[in-house]
């Protein structure tokens, strides 16, 4: 039977529960165990798909087409285990399931209540499909004491009773602040947070203390005493320079060993930190760097392009070079500034996006990359903008546009049902994807002798999608005659998946999101190749 590890947070949010859970998963895996990671989010949205990146950061997409919390990205990158739809649940999803059942009369006349009906559904979710795992790590979003998280905390309390306390472990992550003025470390917020947790029936077994500086023994003793936790289980996590140091720092604190001791399980093999040490060395010691411009709408929020930032770093690791991300707000980018703003840039990346705002800045930057032969990677919306730029400036279709933001021009990017309505029979399929997102993993076949075929070293690839609009394939010939090759297509030849420019050192647009599948130990080939091209262009 699986053992369950619940990770809650206290004092403030954003302390790094996701990274702590992901690091613990790696350490346990490395010791020979099978681990699954899950996230329970207390907000009322059914999934984060409808939330603005400004609100909640990036929406991560799984192979099976779920739009999930970005922590699932950390989980995948650190553990290598592909997340599934069933690994992320929200209050909204739980309630809609329960209410649907209620409307069908499935509760047989009973009064439907938070306890037991909502908590039962949460418990079902935690347990679902975990019979083959040694450990299931469940992170509870938000912090203890929030009104929204209460049913989740109650559910995990009950869960530990159901499976037996020896099979469930509670980890609580709190903040131990350092006060500069008095040069003191404060344990009181942790004490209060644990008190709050205990008042709802949960005694943490391990406390992870996030701190700016190392926590002296006397303070650890204090936390141990007041919070009723063995001193060995008071674990510190001091701010690290890069997230890749986290697994090493938790191993130094023996987090994995304490978890195994709790469950009275012997390690199956020694923990291997070698790969982490290797990448930390590159990230921390490499002097050479390339500047990559990310031109998008959400550049002010650090988490909005989380997987993308990571994938670029991975590309840097593969090329032994530091990648400096220069974030440029596309809405504020005036055409007259492009030359000066992109002066020191070795590669330009336009990420995914939605809506009209900021499009002209993006299109102008793509033109700059195309004409000046600067390595360019367009992702999803970025590829669509590259198509529009090429159509307007090279094919001279001046009103070429996307029906996402302009209904009057020529929709080279549009919904598939629009094209059919216009009488342009291009698809040869009666599947109607209009008005819905294409989500999750889809195959693409790569053209022989193309740059992408060389990069991927494969005829068929699988990549994750999250978009509603597609490039109208009926323009393929016109584009190709003028040098923009459709080098990746859906297996039925109806949907352009990749475009690349002839006579340019590196200009690629992809309709999917390769960043979701990049891993620190297994960098995505597109990002490695993009950084390699940028390095060739200009590296300091
Ligand atoms: N807004 C575009 C679409 O829906 C692109 C989406 C994206 O970049 N993920 O097709």
Angle between the N-to-C axes of helices 306-318 and 274-285, in degrees from 0 to 180, rounded to the nearest 10: 90
| Cβ of 298 less than 6 Å from ligand 1 | no
Average pLDDT across the chain, whole number? 92
Per-residue pLDDT of 447-482, as tens digits, reads 999 999 999 999 999 999 999 999 999 999 999 999
The whole-number pLDDT of residue 50 equals 79
The alpha carbon torsion through 183, 12, 164, 29 (nearest 10 deg) reads: -80
Asked whether the beta carbons of 519 and 306 are under 8 A apart, the reply is: no
539 vs 330, more confident: 330
pLDDT higher than threshold 80 for residue 201:
yes
Question: Within 10 A of 179 (CB to CB), how many other CB atoms are there?
Answer: 9
DSSP state of 13: S
Mean pLDDT to the nearest integer, 31-36: 97
Query: Is the pLDDT confidence value at 31 over 50?
Result: yes
Which of ligand 1's atoms lies nearest the C-alpha of 351?
A: 8
Helix, strand, coil fractions of the chain, as percent rounded to 5 = 40, 20, 35
469 C-beta closer than 6 A to ligand 1: yes
Per residue in 381-411, pLDDT tens? 999 999 999 999 999 999 999 999 888 898 9
Q: Residue 46: its pLDDT value, please?
A: 87
CB 489 within 8 A of CB 444: yes
Q: Could you give the percent of the chain with pLDDT greater than 90?
A: 80
User: Under a CB-based contact definition with an 8 Å cutoff, are residues 331 and 365 in contact?
Assistant: no
Architecture category of domain 287-539 in CATH: 3-Layer(aba) Sandwich (3.40)
Residues contacting 166, CB < 8 A, separation 6+: 263, 264
**Residue 529 Cα, ligand 1 centroid: separation in angstroms?**
24
Closest C-alpha residue for ligand 1 atom 8: 352
Q: State the closest ligand 1 atom to the C-alpha of 437, by its place in the atom list counted from 1.
A: 4
β-strands 206-211, 168-175 pairing: parallel
Lowest mean per-residue pLDDT among 234-248, 427-441, 465-479: 427-441
- CA–centroid distance, 500 to ligand 1, in Å, is 19
Q: Which two tokens stand for residue 487?
A: 């080098």
Question: How far, in Å, is the centroid of ligand 1 from the Cα of 195?
Answer: 46
Considering the chain, what percentage of its residues have pLDDT values greater than 70?
Answer: 96
The helix (run of H) or strand (run of E) holding residue 477 is helix 476-481
Is residue 456 within 6 Å of ligand 1 at its C-beta? Answer: no
Is 249 within 8 Å of 208 (Cβ atoms)? Answer: no
260-302 pLDDT, tens digit per residue, is 999 999 999 999 999 999 999 988 888 899 999 999 988 778 7
Q: Is residue 439 within 8 Å of 450, Cβ to Cβ?
A: no
Residue 296: CB within 6 Å of ligand 1?
Answer: no
Q: Could you tell me which of 189, 234, 231 has the C-alpha nearest to residue 207?
A: 234
Report which protein residue has its CA nearest ligand 1's atom 1.
354
Six-digit token string for 144: 């203890």
Q: What is the pLDDT of residue 103?
A: 95
**Whole-number Cα distances in Å, 468 to 223, 337, 471:** 51, 31, 11
Specify the higher pLDDT residue, 357 or 125: 125
Domain ranges within the chain, ordered by starting residue: 3-51+130-277, 287-539
C-beta of 352 in contact with ligand 1 (< 6 A): yes
Residue in this structure with the two tokens 């798909």, named with its chain if needed: 49
Encoding tokens for residue 199?
């008042």
DSSP state of 82: P
Q: What pLDDT digit, counting tens, does each position of 496-518 carry?
A: 999 999 999 999 999 999 999 99
| Predicted local distance difference test score (pLDDT) of residue 539 | 53
Cβ of 380 closer than 6 Å to ligand 1, yes or no, is yes
Short-list 53, 35, 51, CA closest to 43: 51
Question: pLDDT value at position 96?
Answer: 94
DSSP letter, residue 273: -
Rounded distance, CA 523 to CA 171, Å?
A: 31
Per-residue pLDDT, 425: 42
| Nearest in space to 87 (alpha carbons), one of 21, 32, 15, 20 | 21
Q: Tell me which residue has its CA closest to atom 7 in ligand 1.
A: 352
Task: Say if CB 6 and CB 171 are below 8 A apart.
Answer: yes
Active site residue 513: yes
| Maximum alpha-carbon separation in the chain | 77
Distances (CA, A) of 4 to 131, 504, 512: 11, 52, 35
Q: Measure 308 CA to ligand 1 centroid, in angstroms.
A: 15
Q: Where are the alpha helices (DSSP H) in 82-201?
A: 91-103, 119-127, 150-163, 188-199
Is the CB of 510 inside a 6 Å radius of any atom of ligand 1? Answer: no
Mean pLDDT of 360-378: 95
What digits encode the pLDDT tens for the residues 145-176? 899 999 999 999 999 999 999 999 999 999 99
Q: State the average pLDDT over residues 475-491.
A: 96
**E strands, 183-321, in order:** 184-185, 206-211, 234-238, 289-296
Helix (H) / strand (E) containing 53: helix 53-56
Nearest Cα residue to atom 6 of ligand 1: 467
| 206 has pLDDT over 80 | yes
Same fold: 3-51+130-277 with 287-539: yes
pLDDT at 89: 93
For ligand 1, is residue 87 a contact (CB within 6 Å)? no
CA of 385 relative to ligand 1 center, distance in Å = 10
Q: Residue 177: pLDDT above 90?
A: yes
Cβ atoms of 513 and 379 closer than 8 Å: yes
Is 380 designated active site? yes
Ligand 1 within 6 A of 404 CB?
yes
What is the rounded CA–CA span in Å between residue 36 and residue 3?
10
Which residues lie across from 323 on neighbouring strands?
A: 290
Out of 187-191, 411-415, 427-431, 433-437, which region has the weakest mean confidence (pLDDT)? 427-431
Residue 219 Cβ contacting ligand 1 at under 6 Å: no
Helix H or strand E segment including 390: helix 381-393
User: With left for phi above 0 and alpha for psi between -120 and 50, is residue 24 left, alpha or beta?
Assistant: alpha
User: Which single residue is written with the structure tokens 């992702």?
Assistant: 379
Radius of gyration of the chain (CA): 25
Distance 518 CA to ligand 1 centre (A): 20
What is the assigned CATH class of domain 3-51+130-277? alpha beta
Residue of 380, 467, 470, 500 marked catalytic: 380
Q: Is 314 a catalytic residue?
A: no
Of 74, 172, 219, 513, catalytic: 513
Contact between 186 and 153 (Cβ < 8 Å): no
């Amino acid at each position: 039977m699986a053992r369950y590890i619940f990770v809650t947070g206290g004092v403030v949010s954003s302390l790094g529960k996701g990274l702590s859970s992901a690091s613990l998963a790696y350490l346990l895996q490395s010791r020979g165990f099978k681990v699954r990671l899950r996230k329970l989010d207390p907000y009322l949205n059914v999934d984060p798909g409808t939330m603005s990146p400004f609100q909640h950061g990036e929406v991560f997409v799984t192979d099976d087409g779920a739009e999930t919390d970005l922590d699932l990205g950390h989980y995948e990158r650190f553990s290598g285990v592909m997340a599934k739809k069933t690994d992320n649940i929200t209050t909204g999803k739980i309630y809609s399931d329960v209410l649907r059942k209620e409307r069908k009369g499935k509760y047989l006349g009973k009064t439907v209540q938070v306890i037991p009906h909502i908590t039962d559904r949460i418990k079902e979710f935690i347990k679902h499909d975990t019979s083959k795992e040694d450990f299931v790590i469940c992170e509870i979003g938000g912090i203890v004491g929030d009104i929204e998280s209460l049913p989740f905390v109650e559910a995990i309390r009950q869960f530990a009773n159901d499976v037996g306390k020896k099979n469930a472990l509670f980890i609580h992550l709190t903040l131990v602040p350092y006060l500069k003025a008095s040069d003191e470390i404060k344990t009181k917020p942790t004490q209060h947070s644990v008190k709050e947790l205990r008042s709802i029936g949960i005694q943490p077994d391990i406390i992870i203390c996030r701190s700016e500086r190392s926590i002296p023994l006397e303070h650890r003793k204090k936390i141990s005493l007041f919070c009723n936790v063995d001193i060995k289980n008071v674990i510190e996590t001091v701010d690290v320079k890069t997230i890749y140091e986290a697994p090493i720092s938790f191993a130094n604190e023996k987090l994995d060993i304490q978890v195994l001791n709790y469950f009275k399980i012997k390690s199956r093999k020694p923990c291997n930190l070698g790969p982490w040490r290797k990448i930390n060395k590159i990230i921390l010691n490499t002097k050479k760097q390339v500047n990559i411009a990310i031109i998008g709408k959400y550049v002010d929020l650090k988490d909005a392009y989380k997987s993308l930032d990571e994938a670029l770093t991975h590309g840097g690791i593969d090329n032994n070079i530091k990648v400096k991300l220069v974030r440029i707000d596309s809405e504020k980018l005036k055409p007259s500034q492009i030359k000066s703003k992109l002066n020191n840039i070795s590669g330009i990346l336009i990420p995914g996006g939605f809506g009209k705002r900021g499009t002209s800045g993006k299109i102008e930057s793509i033109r700059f990359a195309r004409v000046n032969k600067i390595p360019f990677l367009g992702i999803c919306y970025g590829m669509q903008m590259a198509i529009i730029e090429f159509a307007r400036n090279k094919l001279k279709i001046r009103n070429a546009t996307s029906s996402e933001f302009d209904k009057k021009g020529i929709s080279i990017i549009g919904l598939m049902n629009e094209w059919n309505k216009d009488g342009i029979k291009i698809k040869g399929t009666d599947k109607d994807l209009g008005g819905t997102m294409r989500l999750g993993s889809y195959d693409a076949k790569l053209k022989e002798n193309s740059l992408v075929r060389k990069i991927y070293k494969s005829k068929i690839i699988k990549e994750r999608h999250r978009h509603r609009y597609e490039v109208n394939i009926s323009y393929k010939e016109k584009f190709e005659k003028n040098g923009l090759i459709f080098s990746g297509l859906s297996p039925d030849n109806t949907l352009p998946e990749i475009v690349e420019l002839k006579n340019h050192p590196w200009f690629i647009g992809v309709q999917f999101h390769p960043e979701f599948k990049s891993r620190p130990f297994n960098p995505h080939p597109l990002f490695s190749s993009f950084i390699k091209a940028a390095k060739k262009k200009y590296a300091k």
